[in-house]
Amino acid sequence: MACSITHSRSKDLVGAFLSGERPVRRVTVETNPERTINLPVQCRQCQDPKCVHACMTGAMYLDAGTGLVLNRKEKCVGCWMCVMVCPYGVITPSEEHKVAVKCDQCLSEGHDPACVKSCPTKALSFMPIGAFDKTVKKAFLSKFISGEEV
């Protein structure tokens, strides 16, 4: 919901629906078969992005300053080549606007993406991969040392 609001012209969910602006998903949530783990699936910001190589108009590009894979919507012709080659399946075709849509980490909104800022339980966080690795290792070691099931 926060992502939809951030990317709408009205910046208001009700206003977006009333104006006929349909929200387009940029992040999906996958659940394991036991329904015990929920995992957000979004653009991995690949260092060698297949979507950029497949884009015939140059709409998809790797921003050298931020390291993000971004889409120039005004150049996108809706050929969906980026959708077809994305190994993670995170680029969505917007039939309404005839452009490819993907997570841009709310680049224009500051440091944290809208989904992270609005998460009521603070279950989502935004950090560099190295910091994530350290966080996971620390949590694993803590559980292992205390004898909890890992």
pLDDT of residue 102: 93
- Give me the half-sphere count of Cα atoms (radius 13 Å) on the Cβ side of residue 27: 21
- Strand 92-94 and strand 28-31: the pairing is unpaired
- Cα 106 versus chain centre, distance: 9
Domain boundaries, the chain: 43-102
pTM value? 0.74
CATH number of 43-102: 3.30.70.20
Residue type, 31: T
Residue 50 phi/psi, 5-degree rounding, is: -65, -35
pLDDT tens digits for 79-103?
999 999 999 999 999 877 889 999 9
Q: What CA–CA distances, in Å, run from 108 to 66, 104, 142?
A: 12, 9, 37
